């Protein structure tokens, strides 16, 4: 293996993952677990165990890839805060990859070889994700739309629907494709992130997650923070 390995983290769903990849983005090994809403308790210990069992020292890492959602508040905060401290602490580049983009890339790959939903990798796909107990969010062409309650997505029949983390709340075929997409998530994150890391990554300070939804009435953040220093 030439070059330094990269680490990918995604905590956008109730399942979390940490994955180790080669500099070209191919998957070496991964750890996945059911995190619920307590992603922070296990993320570092799982990361440490993954690195140790693959005999990779922290200092050998060449970049951090982090899934930026959309996802639930708790997980996004944990994953991005951890990824930022890893990249900053190790002084290596960071790349944020939309989890939705990685899931759709993974789904397209399996859809090409899938019997009941024959599709080419270039076929347009849309992603359906949970947004709380009754709402769902639809991601199509990079745009996320909130579907309240039982509202159904209005989609052209040619569009491949991929449903993730929505047991009993989406068509069976979309759910089956979602399961496959989740299996391929680590590989897709690494593949998409590796190219961005090779290009130098992005500003670690500016990286913030995409949430599934903001509270009603809150549309945008106005104003700036005020800084204060004191030195003695």
Partner 1 sequence: MTRGGLILAVESSCDETGIAIVEDGSRICSNVVASQVAMHAAAGGIVPEVAARAHLRWIVPVLDEAWAAAGVTWDDISAVAVTEGPGLAGSLLVGINFAKTLAYVHAKPLVPVNHLEGHLYAAWLADETRDEPEPIFPLVALIVSGGHTFLVEMRDHLQYKLLGETVDDAAGEAFDKVGRLLGLPYPGGPEIMKAAAGAVRHDVTFPRAWLGDSFDFSFSGLKTAARRTIATETGGEGTAAGESPLSVDRVAELADGFQESVVDVLVTKTIRAARAAGARSVVLGGGVAANSVLRDRLAAAAEAAGMPLVVPRPGLCTDNGAMIGAAATRRFEAGVRAGLDLDAKPSLPLARR
Residues of this chain that interact with partner 1 (CB under 8 A) are 38, 40-45, 48, 58, 73-74, 77-78, 80-82, 84-86, 88-90, 204-209, 211, 214-215, 218, 221-232
Least separation in angstroms between CB 155 and partner 1: 29
Q: Which is nearer to partner 1, 44 or 56 (CB)?
A: 44
Q: For residues 197 and 24, give the distance between their C-alpha atoms in angstroms, rounded to a whole number.
A: 10
Q: For residues 116 and 130, give the distance between their C-alpha atoms in angstroms, rounded to a whole number.
A: 24
Q: What is the DSSP letter of 231?
A: -
Q: For residues 48 and 40, give the distance between their C-alpha atoms in angstroms, rounded to a whole number.
A: 13
Q: For residues 81 and 48, give the distance between their C-alpha atoms in angstroms, rounded to a whole number.
A: 16
Q: For residues 153 and 133, give the distance between their C-alpha atoms in angstroms, rounded to a whole number.
A: 17
Least separation in angstroms between CB 144 and partner 1: 16
Q: Which is nearer to partner 1, 115 or 206 (CB)?
A: 206
Q: For residues 27 and 5, give the distance between their C-alpha atoms in angstroms, rounded to a whole number.
A: 10
Q: Which is nearer to partner 1, 88 or 148 (CB)?
A: 88
Q: Which is nearer to partner 1, 82 or 180 (CB)?
A: 82
Least separation in angstroms between CB 106 and partner 1: 26
Q: Which is nearer to partner 1, 3 or 36 (CB)?
A: 36
Least separation in angstroms between CB 110 and partner 1: 32
How many CA atoms lie less than 13 Å away from 22 in the CB half-sphere?
6
Least separation in angstroms between CB 5 and partner 1: 16
Q: For residues 30 and 49, give the distance between their C-alpha atoms in angstroms, rounded to a whole number.
A: 10
Least separation in angstroms between CB 120 and partner 1: 38
Q: Which is nearer to partner 1, 115 or 222 (CB)?
A: 222
- 91-120 burial by CB neighbour count: b if 16+ within 10 A, else e? ebbbbbbbbbbbbbbbbbbbbeebeebebe
Q: What is the DSSP letter of 215?
A: P
């Amino acid at each position: 293996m030439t070059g330094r390995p990269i680490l990918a983290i995604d905590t956008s769903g109730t399942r979390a993952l940490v994955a180790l990849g080669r500099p070209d983005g191919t998957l070496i090994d991964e750890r996945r677990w059911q995190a619920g809403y307590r992603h922070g308790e296990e993320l570092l210990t799982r990361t440490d165990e993954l690195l140790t069992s693959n005999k990779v020292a922290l200092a050998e890492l060449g970049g951090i890839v982090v899934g930026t959602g959309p996802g639930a508040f708790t997980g996004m905060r944990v994953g991005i805060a951890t990824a930022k401290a890893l990249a900053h602490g190790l002084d290596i580049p960071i790349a944020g990859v939309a989890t939705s983009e990685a899931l759709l890339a993974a789904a397209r790959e399996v859809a090409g070889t899938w019997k009941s939903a024959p599709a080419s990798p270039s076929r347009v796909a849309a992603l359906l994700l949970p947004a709380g107990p009754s709402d769902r969010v639809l991601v199509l062409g990079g745009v996320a739309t909130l579907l309240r309650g039982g509202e159904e997505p209005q989609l052209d029949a040619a569009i491949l629907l991929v449903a993730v983390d929505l047991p009993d709340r989406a068509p069976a075929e979309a759910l089956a494709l979602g399961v496959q997409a989740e299996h391929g998530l680590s590989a897709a994150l690494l593949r998409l992130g590796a190219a961005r890391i090779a290009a130098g990554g992005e500003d670690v300070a500016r990286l913030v997650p995409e949430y599934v939804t903001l509270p009603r009435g809150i549309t945008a953040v106005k104003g700036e923070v005020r800084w204060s220093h004191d030195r003695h």
